[in-house]
Each structure stands twice: as C-alpha cells, then as structure tokens.
Amino acid sequence: MTEPTQIRNICTVAHIDHGKSTLADRMLELTGVLLPGHAAQYLDRMDLERERGITIKAAAVRMMHRPQTGDPYVINLIDTPGHVDFSYEVSRALTACEGAILLVDATQGVEAQTVANLYHAIEAGLDILPVINKIDLPAADPDRTEGEIHHLLGGADEIIRVSAKTGEGVPELMDAIVARVRPPTVKADDPHLRALVFDSVFDPYRGVITYVRVTSGEVHGRAQIRLMGTGHETSITEIGVLAPDAKAVESLGPGEVGYLITGIKDVRQARVGDTITLAAAPAPDPVPGFREPRPMVWTGLYPEEGQYEDLRDALDKLGLNDAAFVYEPETSKALGFGFRCGFLGLLHMEIATERLHREFGLELVITAPTVAYGVKLTDGEESRVHSPADLPDAGRIAEITEPFVSALVITPATYVGAVMELCRDKRGEQTKLEYLSPERVELSYSLPLGEIIFDFFDQLKSRTRGYASLDYEPSEYRPADMVRVDVLVHSQPVDAFSSIVHRDRSYVWGRAMAQRLKDLIPRQLFDVAIQAAIGSKIIARETVKAKRKDVTAKCYGGDVTRKRKLLERQKKGKAKMRQLGEVEVPPDVFIRALRVEER
Amino acid sequence: MTTTVATLPKPRDVLGTFGLYVHIPFCAHRCWYCDFNAYAGLDELVDAYMDALVLDAARGLSAPSGADLDERPVVTSVFIGGGTPSLVDARHIEGLMDAIPGSWPVAPGAEVTIECNPESVDAGKLERYLHAGVNRVSFGVQSLNDELLKRLGRTHDAATALDALQTAKTAGFTEVNADLIFGVPGESEATWRASLEGVMGCEPSHVSCYALTYEEGTPLAAWRRLGKVDPMADDDVAAQWELAEVLLGEAGLHRYEISNWARPGSACRHNDLYWTCGEYIGIGAGAHSHLATDDASIRSWVVKSPERYVRYVNDGNRPVAGSEAVDVRTRASETMVLGLRRTQGVTDEQFRDVVGAGLDEVFGAELARARDRGLVSWDGTSVRLLRPLLGDEAALLFA
C-alpha cells in the first residue's frame, strides 16, 4: 500500500481529438511504464475505439513519478470516455479523482466538450490543471487559447504548454500534477471499506474486472465483498493495479486505484457508480451518486429470417460487457420477432449495432430511433413509452412528457445566427449566450432529445461549416403535445414506420415521410398507396404507380446464358426484399425512411 | 421445383428444327448502343475470315466437343447475322451459300436470312443474295427520323431505309423484316408513329421492335452515367410498345413474341428456335450454339476476337471459348423463361416433350403464384403471359 500523501489521482477532460490519448502515451513513456515505440494510443484498446478515434470504456493506469528530489509518487491516470453518450460514466470517473488536466488543442481552442466536462470536474470539486496541447503545430494559437481558458476558469491560473506529440512540456506537467493536485483525503476514523466502481469490463477468460477507487478502508485478497447497489455478494479472486498491464497486489488502501477480479460473470451485477464493501463489515452508506443507467435512445432490431436465436445470444453477450445497454423482446407486424433496445445515445447505438454486425455477423433491420416518452393516462396510470407502437390511444392519454437535454454549443461568432435558428427550429429554448472571446460564443439551450437524435448534429455541422461543437446531457421531462403519425402502405399500417412527433410538425413530418417512402418503395405490379395518418385522419398521401415494363430486350444471336445470368442476379436481389403485406421493399427502407426531416 | 426424369430427348427430334447461325462481325461504324460482337476497321481481315467461316462450316469446329453432331441434323433455318453481313462483298455470301449444303443437309424450303444495313445494299447485291439461296432479308432500319438515327449512331437516313425496303421487294424478296428501336431519348409518340407507319407503307412481312437498352461498355451507357443522356421513363417506353402493338396489328402483322410481329406464316423460324430451346450451331467469332449431348444439351460460345477465330480455325482447332451443360432443371427453367416470351406461351404437351414431366408437376407452385399475381393465364394445358411487358417479372418465378 502507498501512503495517501504520495498518491495523485487524476483524469483528463478534453474535447475529442484534442490529444488526450497521445498525452497519456507520453506520460507513460516518461515514467518508464511504456517503452517508446509501443502501439499508439495505448489506452484505447477496443478496435472500434481506435477506428473511431474515441474512448468508449474508461481505463486506469498507474505510473510512478520520481521527482528530482524527494520520494516517488504514484500517479493514477483515469481515462474518461470522450463522448456525450457516456456522460454518466464520465461523472463517476471524475468522482474517483482529486485533479483534472484540462487539455485544450492550441489549434482549435475551447470546444463544447471541454466546457461541459470542465463544469463536471468543477462540480466534482477537482483541482484543475489547465494545459494547452499541440504547441508544435504551425496553426497553434496558444495565446488566444490561453485567453479562452482564463475566461472559462475566471482567473489567471498558470497554464502549462505542451506538445503531446513531441513530449515538450510533459516533464513540467508531471511535476505540476504533484504540486498542484491535492492528495486523496482519507477519513482515518472510518475503517469501513468503500471502493467506488468507476468502470467494469467483461473479460472472456477472467469474468468481470471492476476498476475501483478506494475511498475508505482497505481491501485484501480473497475477501468476501458486497456490491451495495445491487446487493450482490461474491469473493475476490485477484486484486491488482494496471501498470499498465495487470499486476497483482496484496491489497488496496485509502486513495488507491486498482482492479478487482471476482466471481461475477455479468457487468450488470457490478455497475459503474456502485460501491464495493466487505460483506463481513459493510459500510453504513455507499459513495453517493450511484444510479441505474438510463437508456435515452431506443430502437428496434430485427434479424433476418432464422437468425432470431443468434441475435438473442449476441445481445446477451453484448450485455455482458455493456451494462448501459438494455433490450427486451418486441414483435412487429411488419418485421416479425425482434428486440427493442435502449442505448445511452446515438453513438452508443451505432457502436452496438456495428458490433452486432461485425463480431456476430448479423444482418439487421434497424428501425428509427426514438426517445422514451412519459405517458400519464386519464385513469392516473403512468408509464414510459419507448416504442411508437406502445403509445396508447389519444383518448386515454392525459399527458405526454418528453425528455429534454441541456445542450451546450460553442461556435465561431459568425455562425451564432445560424445556430440560434437551428435550435429554434428544433423547439429549443435558449438559457445562455456568452462570448468566450470576441470570436467564439458559448450558447446553452434546453432542447427536446427527440429533436436531437435525428439530424441535429449533422445540421449543426453543416450550418457552421463544421466549426461548432456540441455537448449535452439529459435534464428533465416536460409536457409536450405529441402525437403518433402512422404510415399505411397499401392500406396496411406499418408499425415500423410509426413515429411520435410534436403536433405542430406532424403534417410536415407526414408529408415528408410519404414522399420519402414513395421514392424508396420500388414500383410493384399494382398501384401502392402510401398514407400518413394521425389516428383515423389521413394527413398525407402519395402513390407508387404500378410498374408497366420490366422486360429486357432480345437475346441476341441465341445468347441464352447471358439472359439467364441477368435473371439470376435479379432473383438474388429479390430474395433480400422484405414483405409488407403484398408489397416488397428493400430492407434498408426502414432506417432510410426515417432520415427524413429537412431533406 | 421438382423433377423426376433422367434422360432427355433431343430438341431437334421433338421440334423437327435445327438452325445454323453464321456471324459476320464487320461494320463500317459502331452504333452508340451496340454491344454485339462487331468491329469497325477490320476490312483487311474480311477475306481470311470468310474463308475460315467456310472451313468451319464444313468441319463443324465451332461446336463444342461432346455435342452430338455425328450425324449432321437437317438444317431448317440459316441466319447470317452480324455485325453487318451486307458490308462484305456479295461473292463472300455466295461462297458461303455454296459451301453450306455440301456440309449440312438443308431442308427444302429452309428459311435463309441475311441481316443488312440499308446503306450497304443495292438492287444488284440483293439479287445476288436471292440467287445464292437467301430468301429473307432483315434490315436495321431502327427509325425513320433522321435526328434519332444520328442519336443512335446510325449512318443511314430515313430515305435510304425506305428505299432499301422497296428495293428488296422489287428484287423479289417476299420475306422482308425491318428492325425498329423505340424508347430512344427524344422520341415522341409522333416520331414513333411516323416510323411505324412509314415502315408499314413498304409492306414488310415482319417487324421487330426493340426497346433501347443501355448496355455496359457502350458509348450510350457512358453518356447516361455522365448525365449526358436522359433515358426515357419506363411508362413512356411501355406506351410506345403498346402503340406498336396497335398499329402493327391494324396493318395485319401479329405479334408472335414480345418484340416480333409478322404476317401469318412469316414468323422468323430461326428466331423461334431461340424461344423454343431449339438446337442451333453458331459459327464465327462470338457465335453461340445450343446442341444436344448424350445426357441433355450444352450451350457454348466461340472466341470473340475475329483474328483469334481465324487463327484457331486455320490451325484446325476448336475456337470454342466456353460452354455450360444444360441439365434437366435448367432446361425446364429455360423452357419457361424463353417460351413465355412467345405469344402462344408454353403448352403442357410441349413442356412434357422436352422436359419429360408435366408443367404442373414441375412448376405447380410457381404457376399458381404467377397466376395469382395476374402475370399469366394458366388453365392446366397452356400458360401465357397476360402482360408481356412484365415478362421478366414472370420469368423470375421460373428462373
């Protein structure tokens, strides 16, 4: 065990691509943990993470810093996820630290995620260590960036300038961590073990590995432990630290960070934010702040024929190392048996569906994402509805509420008007407008999440030429005048096309949807009517005219082989079609149809 | 689909037909839509090529090994196609027509067709064809609108086309075909009507109308990809076909296949071979054959390059580039896919003759489905397309 005075627990808050992982690489090299020439961005291990340049799972690494004089220090660097979808995981990782490096790219300046995460770090009471990165680049403007940071922090803290790429300034940063971040505070009078779980991952060979920060008491090998949130009890098979590869240790004491391997086989039993204590002498209260993960975005996943069992197995396996992901069986008249799945956000959803495709080889129909609406019935019953199909008849509904988010946009001043217009279009309510510098503006909005999950980010990027950045987190539910717009294809309602939409926009939505489907549904042997309806009221109608001709010309000079190959190709294409009653549609029509608005 | 039969009869025995196709790949100029095996600028090869054809006809080299030609079947139709067969000197055609009967028994009254471009014939040439034994001429008229002809890359004009049709009749041909193309961008109902009426004014015995297709590798397909050519909407193409059906019918030509109309008794027998899964040997560069084998039949094709063809034949080698066996399953499928294009459709008897099992037995489910979808009529003895323009939709069920 290390004396708390010799420990520094830190994390890095930064916008995506501002160089967080590269800085971690340099720190690991400098402390001798890694030899130069290792794989870049060591901490981002999952293939998908590296491909997308983001960190999905937090990880913690321990390094030994030896100052020029005095005793060595243990520095635990806790890597936080870099995307809005994982803001709860970020907040738990922050709780495990006493200090945060505020890392800003000198070529980009302060961005939305920088600000959002900084606010979280300040709320968590962390010592902030502002750092400007990428000073080696010709486009770097460290002075302007420094001005923005000072504005944000409201003071003239000393800012360290580094190049994570070349390593310049990193030794000074290490010294500053020791000097300017406080050591863990330890309640010496409280002997009860409290270990905050700030991450938990599933390892196919070792089961669930939980990453913990001990706040009080000690944990020793082989102890019987209890997870205070889930009540689950198990025994420890290994205690260790990541340096950066797993290294077993005897025990972890107050202020220390490490991992525990237990008999748990499912990450849902060891959730992020939970507190581990000793089964024999449990702490009277956990580390505050634990909550169940709250899926914000829902979608239906439907397998190809005969792959239902495969999909269920794949979802089970995915759930083993992603506690934030939930799923339940669902039946669609149009698509058959599938699952309704809840995700933290759109990126989380994309990652999960991509993994289902890539790692499990599944071809899925993915229905349009929706948020969870609060529904209060006239008889007083309340429920959450996360599938348009589950929305009760309008007559039975007393009130619908929808989730809002607090959104933070940072944009060059030139685009303020464009951003405000977009947010207004999306039913947003401005809560703040502040100039970070004469050129850059911070805008805060309350926005319905349901508006954000379609194309808000794309729109924001296109209206600001890619310069604006966005961060948001769930706030509250508010009453909203929502209606369900149904779509009928050839007189048959197609549940997979139904959407819950604000009443003011329902006509526009319905018309756009019908037009879009008209383009997406191939011509059949008969006229196909496409109708959008609210209840029994038709609000839009389009017709896909019957096809009149498909026949190909002659088979010249007796080349029958070619004709047959042509037909065989057509037949293969046909086999992939999905059947909506009598109407054949391509399988991607479900997701494509719902990328409809504004186009 | 289920099948129960192991040995298959020879189509030549069942149908009593056998075709000989001769490919002459030379053209003065390639049309923008053409993806046939045709070459411009190969004039120097013509003599050698025509000699090779005669040699090939005599020895049957273009047939694949395994084809049953020990006893040469009686030829009921000859088709000299291209390319532009009328481009080569008439003596070459005479030489060919001399050689064929020495190598192949030709039935009395066999149909002998030659394809011609309007600009490469005159009365003298046509008379020589007739004397050589050719009894049917087929002209690539394509359109009687000069602007559209240019758009297709044709080098003749409407007047030349009409003149050629007349000259053929004057020369003594009773069987005259005009090929037309519809659905050309820019074609209106009026121009299409004018082409049909103009051609009918010459009283041909046969008219073929093909919808323009954009074949991979042609200039037209490239222009379409680049947005320089805007294809006609399918509905308008369909309307032009329907207009042809009306106008040609009024003029006494009946449609016997999706794209072919003829006076009674003037249907092209060689053409019909293709739709009835008949046998034919194709000689010349890129020519296709369908020939019976010991178990079933084989489809094969000759090397496309005229130079290589000449070399192979002169060396006494088979110029065959590829082949595939047609088993009973494929034969059943082809009988439907091809046969449904004919106006009379496919009869149970005809199907049973070539496949050895009844239609209902082999394609019961598919027929019911096609009928339920309004694509065919099926009464248990014969199946016919109800909507010829949706022929592929029906064919897919049997493919």
Q: Transcribe A120-150 into DSSP letters.
A: HHHHTTPEEEEEEE-TTSTT--HHHHHHHHH
The pLDDT of residue A57 is above 50 = no
**pTM of the entire predicted model:** 0.69
Q: In Å, how far is B201's CA from the nearest CA of chain A?
A: 25
Judged by a CB distance cut-off of 8 A, whether residue A572 touches chain B is no
pLDDT class for A41, splitting at 50, 70, 90? low
Tokens of A158: 């000393």
Please report how the helices B359-372 and B348-355 are oriented relative to each other, as an axis angle in degrees rounded to 10: 130
- Strand-pair category, A469-479 with A397-412: antiparallel
Judged by a CB distance cut-off of 8 A, whether residue B77 touches chain A is no
Higher pLDDT, A261 or A347: A261
B326 Rama sector, left if φ>0, alpha if ψ -120 to 50, beta otherwise: beta
Question: What ipTM was estimated for this complex?
Answer: 0.86
The pLDDT of residue A51 is above 80 = no
Q: Do A557 and B36 touch (CB under 8 A)?
A: yes
The predicted structure's pLDDT at residue B153 = 94
Judged by a CB distance cut-off of 8 A, whether residue A552 touches chain B is yes
Q: How far is CA A119 from CA A431, A432, A555, B387, in A?
A: 16, 15, 71, 69
Please give the sequence-ordered ranges of beta strands (E in DSSP) within A297-426, or none if there are none: 297-303, 326-332, 336-343, 364-366, 370-371, 373-377, 382-385, 397-412
The predicted structure's pLDDT at residue A500 = 92
Contacts of B237 in chain A (CB under 8 A): 549
Is the bond into A231 cis (omega within 30 degrees of 0)? no
Nearest Cα neighbor of A482 from A387, A385, A401, A372 is A401
Q: Which of A87-91, A189-193, B224-228, B275-279 has the lowest mean pLDDT?
A: A87-91
Judged by a CB distance cut-off of 8 A, whether residue A548 touches chain B is yes
**pLDDT single digits (tens) A302-341:** 988 788 999 999 998 888 777 788 899 999 888 889 999 9
- Domain spans in chain B, listed from the N-terminal domain onward: 11-274, 328-399
Please report how the helices A87-95 and A112-123 are oriented relative to each other, as an axis angle in degrees rounded to 10: 40
Tokens of A336: 């058959």
The pLDDT of residue A553 is above 80 = no
The predicted structure's pLDDT at residue A38 = 62
Give me the domains of chain A, ranges plus CATH numbers.
4-180 (3.40.50.300), 194-278 (2.40.30.10), 297-367 (3.30.70.870), 374-479 (3.30.70.240), 483-593 (3.30.70.2570)
The predicted structure's pLDDT at residue B48 = 97
Residue with tokens 């042509």: A566
The predicted structure's pLDDT at residue A83 = 65
Interface of A with B in 501-530 (CB under 8 A): 525
How high is the mean pLDDT of chain B?
A: 94
| Alpha-helix runs per DSSP H in B60-184 | 90-103, 123-132, 146-152, 158-171
- Please give the average per-residue pLDDT across B253-258, as a whole number: 96
CA distance B201 to B206: 13
Nearest Cα neighbor of A110 from A147, A78, A163 is A147
Judged by a CB distance cut-off of 8 A, whether residue B36 touches chain A is yes
| Alpha-helix runs per DSSP H in A20-100 | 20-30, 47-52, 87-95
Q: Give the CA radius of gyration of chain A.
A: 27
The pLDDT of residue A291 is above 80 = no
CB B284 within 8 A of CB B36: no
Q: Do A554 and B334 touch (CB under 8 A)?
A: no
State the amino acid at position A205 in one-letter form. Y
Q: Do A549 and B258 touch (CB under 8 A)?
A: no
The pLDDT of residue A594 is above 70 = no
Q: Which of A57-66, A146-155, A255-264, B379-388 has the lowest mean pLDDT?
A: A57-66
CATH architecture of the domain formed by B328-399? Orthogonal Bundle (1.10)
- Strand-pair category, A382-385 with B206-211: unpaired
Q: Maximum distance among all alpha carbons in chain B?
A: 57
Q: How many CB atoms lie within 10 A of CB B45?
A: 18
Judged by a CB distance cut-off of 8 A, whether residue A561 touches chain B is yes
Q: Which CATH number is B11-274 given?
A: 3.20.20.70
The pLDDT of residue A349 is above 50 = yes
CA distance A29 to A37: 9
Contacts of A524 in chain B (CB under 8 A): none
Tokens of B240: 């032009």
- Please give the average per-residue pLDDT across A405-413, as a whole number: 93
The predicted structure's pLDDT at residue A222 = 85
The predicted structure's pLDDT at residue A593 = 76
The pLDDT of residue A119 is above 90 = no
The secondary structure of B34-88, three-state, reads CCCCCEECCHHHHHHHHHHHHHHHHHCCCCCCCCCCCCCCCEEEEEEEECCHHHC
